[in-house]
Structure 1
Amino acid sequence: MLKQLGSTVLTAATGATGKETAFGASAAALGMLATLLGGWDKPLQLLVVLMIADYVTGVLGAIKTKRVNSDVMFWGGIRKITVLFVVGLAHLIDGWVAGESAVFRILAIYFYAGREGLSVFENLGVLGVYIPPKLKEFLVQLKEKGEAKE
């Protein structure tokens, strides 16, 4: 009976098939990542959705303009991982400095969400999606201001 109980517990923990094990490990990894980033709340969801949208629209724009470059795509992915690392650091800083408040984390998320959003709009322009002229003017001005500071 003890052997059967142990077998049942082991099977439940690891999964009966490789797919269950992979799914369980993926869910655990995503849960740990969300915890390190301060929780899976609406601001983080917005940032992740914008990051995915930026990557997908960037790849589609590269395909349209025939400028697909695996090196650029790789470093774009690394940049997104680095952004999540900065959000995680901001969450740690909040724990040290602000206690229960998430001031630095929220600032980091909204800053990067703004950058990702601008990039999505630029990519949509490359894809030929209509962007209202006033919005396009505003984005060009923001881009020029950003380039002037660099």
Structure 2
Amino acid sequence: MDWTQLKTAVGLMSAVVTGAIAQVLGGWDMWLQALVLFVVLDYITGLMAAAIEKKLRSEVGFRGVMKKVFIFCLVAVAFQADMLLGTEIIRVAVIGFYLGTEGLSILENAGRAGLPLPEALRNALIQVKGSGKKVGA
């Protein structure tokens, strides 16, 4: 197998796996895209804040990754619940809740790094998180 064939095979496999994961999570819509972005940014900003504080520890990082995986497991469960009930609200509520949680964590990480926190963004994230709770209640 030459380099071009290997790149094609890896690209194809990546597309299949990514597509399957997106399908289990309810599709690659704006909600899931935002959640993936927030989860990745929270992890990166957490690493940066820990490095600045000189508190970088691999076991804490591993626990963080496991929590992120659980978020996506809950999104998959919420999507299946929507499918069973014939609704489209449970998945959005779960994602909205975690968007708010992850967003507030990003702001917390910025604060740990010594950055001033924009109050308008903090308030918006609290609203997103709160609306997820109300919708899911």
Tell me whether the two structures share a fold, i.e. TM-score over 0.5.
yes
Find the counterpart in structure 1 of residue 49 from structure 2: 61
Amino acid at match of 2:83: G
Structure 1 residues without counterparts, runs of 5 or longer: 1-10, 140-150
Q: How many residues align?
A: 123
Per-residue deviation at 1:17?
2.2
Whole-angstrom distance in 2 between the partners of 1:31 and 1:72: 30
Identity of aligned residues (%): 37
Asked if structure 1 preserves the Cα contact closer than 8 Å seen for 2:38 and 2:99, the reply is: yes
Asked if 1:106 corresponds to 2:92, the answer is yes
Tell me the secondary structure at the aligned position of residue 17 of structure 1. helix
Whole-angstrom distance in 1 between the partners of 2:97 and 2:118: 23
Asked if structure 1 preserves the Cα contact closer than 8 Å seen for 2:104 and 2:122, the reply is: no
Tell me the secondary structure at the aligned position of residue 45 of structure 2. helix
Matches within 5 A, 1:132-147: 132=118
State the structure with more CA Rg: 1
Taking only aligned residues, the RMSD between alpha carbons, in angstroms, comes to 2.3
Structure 2 residues without counterparts, runs of 5 or longer: 126-137
With normalisation by structure 2, the TM-score equals 0.82
The 3 A distance-change label for structure 1 pair 59 and 17 is: same
